[in-house]
Structure 1
Amino acid sequence: MKSNQQIILTYRSIPNLETCNATSSHIDISDFKHQPNFKPKISNNGFACISMLGKKETKEFEPTTSQFLKHPLALVALVPRDVALFAAGAIAGAAAKTFTAPLDRIKLLMQTHGVRVGQESAKKAMGFFEAITVIGKDEGIKGYWKGNLPQVIRVIPYSAVQLFAYETYKKLFRGKDDELSVWGRLAAGACAGMTSTFVTYPLDVLRLRLAVEPGYRTMSQVALSMLREEGFTAFYNGLGPSLIGIAPYIAVNFCIFDLVKKSLPEKYQKRPETSFVTALVSATIATLTCYPLDTIRRQMQMRGTPYNTVLDAFAGILERDGWIGLYRGFVPNALKNLPNSSIRLTTFDSVKSLVAASEKEFQRIVEENRKEAKAS
């Protein structure tokens, strides 16, 4: 039997229909071509749905080069969907991080100031405008992007894995009716956030050390110093609060984004501005909820940190700075995260729509070619 002329026999469950064990051998497509009244034999009088995949036939009607030039959107359909979505997440993450890098550097200095200056001056906090001035005075314009390269290197796999994993986990958590509940969306977001964090966490630690500790110029210098002086486990300092912090953040962020968009009229759902505004709302709520865990994580990542556990860090920050200490650096973080999240989700959403449109355009051209061939 020729592989490109094989029939795929698919059985589907139908509500309120008694099931039976139906079996059938492979069927050659030539039986259908030469015998119009041919019917496959299925035991036990079972119900079957037959789907014929004529790959060779479809290949014959694929768009030509001239058709691709006239309809370039169809070219996107040649890229596997998963590859396109993975690449979209990577590009969106890198662009968003580079755009907001100065605010991220300011936030890190504000968050870690107490640990860096020592216990005697720990109560003296660094303000937003003070951090801007210090960076500009000591390091110049380039200082605002210090540590951005490892951040971009980290965010490419981080963003790609996170967004791609979210789509994968959503399929996993769908119920029997193929619907995704609110709890299913939250679980998918939490798992996606933890997966991407665990995979890229060492790069996040390197980025922090490069951004706030003097004397280092490259990632390799930081990595070698950490291996010599602190050991491999230093690359995972603060992983616990990172996982605890990112799980609810991504869960709330992605879940609200999906639900708000789903509740809007269909004509607005696919618009980029709708995605942008929806992402702003979801990111704001998620940031307010989960920011204290991010502060705890950063202080546990520092060299010479006095904290061994999340509870130690929580109590220590409260004792030294009070509740406001848990939200130190919140303003630049909010200014950074809100456009960051909006850019990422909007880009990812737009690419998903682009991929769907390209597949539709590709199939339209194939159908036109098939009709023309049949007419001739």
Structure 2
Amino acid sequence: MSHRRVEACDSWRPPPAHAHATTLLLRAGGSPWGRSSPPPAFACLSVRHGGETVVKADEEEKERPSSVVAVVEGSGNKGKLPPVAQLLKHPLAALALVPSSVALFAAGAGAGAVAKTVTAPLDRVKLLMQTHSVRVAGESTKRGIGFLEAMAEIGKEEGLKGYWKGNLPQVIRIIPYSAVQLFSYEVYKKLFRRKDGDLTVFGRLAAGACAGMTSTLVTYPLDVLRLRLAVQSGHSTMSQVALNMLREEGLASFYGGLGPSLIGIAPYIAVNFCVFDLMKKSVPEKYKSRPETSLATALLSATFATLMCYPLDTVRRQMQMKGSPYNTIFDAIPGIVERDGLVGLYRGFVPNALKNLPNSSIKLTAFDTVKILISTGQKELEKLMQENQEKTS
């Protein structure tokens, strides 16, 4: 065999078939090379030379029995998936076969939908408290309503179902919203990594801000629909409200308050995700994979982010209202302060905090847990494949 320079090595491993035959012979007390001499060590080397894959071997290969077969990487003997029956006994290994983006999408969507439905009454109360001064302008001199008053008003006028009014578009919205937000956050983190692979605090904040704005931009019309359904009286359906908005106010009405929404969501998600990542990173290694650790860090990060960014949420809600006197964020903030005082920027903060903390905690905890399960499943799948290969070799 001609001697050529080796450019790159793809694999170097003993042929499985021959190794198996040698093991059987040794167990039987015999050796094809004689009782006194051990079997020679040899291997197959797959190299890439000039764009083609060629097989090179030791010069001893000429003297080996014809039954010895050279095995090249990619021939099918390595990487064979376990049978279905075996995967059913190891569900985590089966989970590793699901694309990670699909698994994360399902986890984020499911957790988001459940969290939004459970906390819908608090969300409805928060919206009524935030928009009270705009809805009753000219009808009442009362600046705002309290938490208990808003709860009683909903029950009196609309009954038990009223607490979940507007929840359907919110659930429909949260499915793509959570998926886009969580998935894009992982993508943006890769983009903002430095050349050495490290991700700075600024990089995490930038990734969170971009993820928040991306998800908001994609799902914003559904958020406006949810608000209109939640605060308008009557029993209109989502499609009726959408058609009325399109007919009476035009397409632009679906994007009212988009500016402050993007400005508000960017720092909120940036702070929330960044604080969550940094706190989780500082936790001792033995506690990192526990769900209660994710839950605790998610609660703290969500509380900090909510306290910082809530006034911008109040501004965007009032700008989304039909007949809102505010056109930009710069006239909305002084207008709200003039009408309701500084406390007006924090109307509905308590129900929002009660709603937001479990929402964010469930979402981040589910996301983190699924990532851990996927990683564990991949290791289990590799272990099964290796065991199966050893049995058949």
Quick check: 1:147–1:211 contact (8 Å CA) kept in 2?
Answer: yes
Residue 369 of structure 1 corresponds to which residue in structure 2?
388
- Aligned length, in residue pairs: 339
Residue 84 of structure 1 corresponds to which residue in structure 2?
103
Matched, 1:164 2:174: no
Residue 366 of structure 2 corresponds to which residue in structure 1?
347
Choose the corresponding residue for 2:255, options 231, 236, 255.
Answer: 236
Q: TM-score of the superposition, structure 1-length normalised?
A: 0.87
Q: What are the Cα deviations for residues 181-204 of structure 1, in whole angstroms up to 9, with x where unaligned?
A: 000000000000000000000000
Matched, 1:57 2:81: no
- Residues 144-153 or 213-222, more deviating: 213-222
Quick check: 1:216–1:222 contact (8 Å CA) kept in 2?
Answer: no
Choose the corresponding residue for 2:313, options 280, 294, 303.
Answer: 294
- Residues 112-121 or 259-268, more deviating: 112-121
- Residues 168-177 or 72-81, more deviating: 72-81
Matched to 1:128, the amino acid is F
- 1:52-131 mapped onto 2 (5 Å cutoff): 54=74, 56-59=76-79, 61-119=80-138, 121=140, 123-131=142-150
- Matches of 2:249 and 2:235 in 1, distance apart? 16
Structure that is richer in helix per residue: 1
Any idea what SS the aligned residue of 1:221 has?
helix
Residue 295 of structure 2 corresponds to which residue in structure 1?
276
Aligned in 2, Cα 1:278/1:36: closer, same or farther, shift over 3 Å? farther
Q: What are the Cα deviations for residues 151-173 of structure 1, in whole angstroms up to 9, with x where unaligned?
A: 00001100110011101100110
Aligned in 2, Cα 1:190/1:122: closer, same or farther, shift over 3 Å? farther
- Matches of 2:389 and 2:180 in 1, distance apart? 39
Quick check: 2:257–2:319 contact (8 Å CA) kept in 1?
Answer: yes
Q: What are the Cα deviations for residues 109-166 of structure 1, in whole angstroms up to 9, with x where unaligned?
A: 0000000001453543110000110111111111111100000000110011001110
Aligned in 2, Cα 1:134/1:271: closer, same or farther, shift over 3 Å? same
- Residues 216-225 or 360-369, more deviating: 216-225
Choose the corresponding residue for 2:55, options 5, 8, 31.
Answer: 31
Residue 190 of structure 1 corresponds to which residue in structure 2?
209
Quick check: 2:143–2:339 contact (8 Å CA) kept in 1?
Answer: no
- Matches of 1:55 and 1:98 in 2, distance apart? 51
- Residues 269-278 or 207-216, more deviating: 207-216
Matched to 1:27, the amino acid is E
Quick check: 1:252–1:282 contact (8 Å CA) kept in 2?
Answer: yes
Matched to 2:173, the amino acid is R
- Matches of 1:248 and 1:81 in 2, distance apart? 27
Residue 246 of structure 1 corresponds to which residue in structure 2?
265
- Matches of 2:176 and 2:225 in 1, distance apart? 15
- Matches of 2:285 and 2:90 in 1, distance apart? 26
Q: What are the Cα deviations for residues 49-81 of structure 1, in whole angstroms up to 9, with x where unaligned?
A: xxx86273335x321122112212211111111
- Matches of 2:378 and 2:100 in 1, distance apart? 9
Residue 47 of structure 1 corresponds to which residue in structure 2?
none
Residue 227 of structure 1 corresponds to which residue in structure 2?
246
Quick check: 1:89–1:164 contact (8 Å CA) kept in 2?
Answer: no
Residue 40 of structure 2 corresponds to which residue in structure 1?
none
- Structure (1 or 2) with the larger CA radius of gyration: 2
Residue 46 of structure 1 corresponds to which residue in structure 2?
none
Quick check: 1:123–1:321 contact (8 Å CA) kept in 2?
Answer: no
Any idea what SS the aligned residue of 1:31 has?
strand
Quick check: 1:162–1:196 contact (8 Å CA) kept in 2?
Answer: yes
Residue 169 of structure 2 corresponds to which residue in structure 1?
150
Aligned in 2, Cα 1:55/1:303: closer, same or farther, shift over 3 Å? farther
Q: Cα RMSD over matched residues? A: 1.9
**What fraction of aligned residue pairs are identical, expressed as a percent?**
68
Matched to 1:365, the amino acid is L
Quick check: 2:8–2:49 contact (8 Å CA) kept in 1?
Answer: no
Structure 1 unmatched ranges of 5 or more? 1-6, 11-22, 39-51
Q: TM-score of the superposition, structure 2-length normalised?
A: 0.83
How many angstroms does 1:235 deviate by? Answer: 0.3
How many angstroms does 1:95 deviate by? Answer: 1.2
Residue 327 of structure 2 corresponds to which residue in structure 1?
308
Aligned in 2, Cα 1:36/1:110: closer, same or farther, shift over 3 Å? farther
Aligned in 2, Cα 1:173/1:284: closer, same or farther, shift over 3 Å? same
Q: What are the Cα deviations for residues 201-238 of structure 1, in whole angstroms up to 9, with x where unaligned?
A: 00000000001012342111011000111000000000
Aligned in 2, Cα 1:103/1:36: closer, same or farther, shift over 3 Å? farther
Choose the corresponding residue for 2:196, options 177, 200, 207.
Answer: 177
- Matches of 1:368 and 1:37 in 2, distance apart? 32
Matched to 2:52, the amino acid is I
Q: What are the Cα deviations for residues 13-58 of structure 1, in whole angstroms up to 9, with x where unaligned?
A: xxxxxxxxxx952232x615xx2579xxxxxxxxxxxxx8627333
Quick check: 2:268–2:309 contact (8 Å CA) kept in 1?
Answer: yes
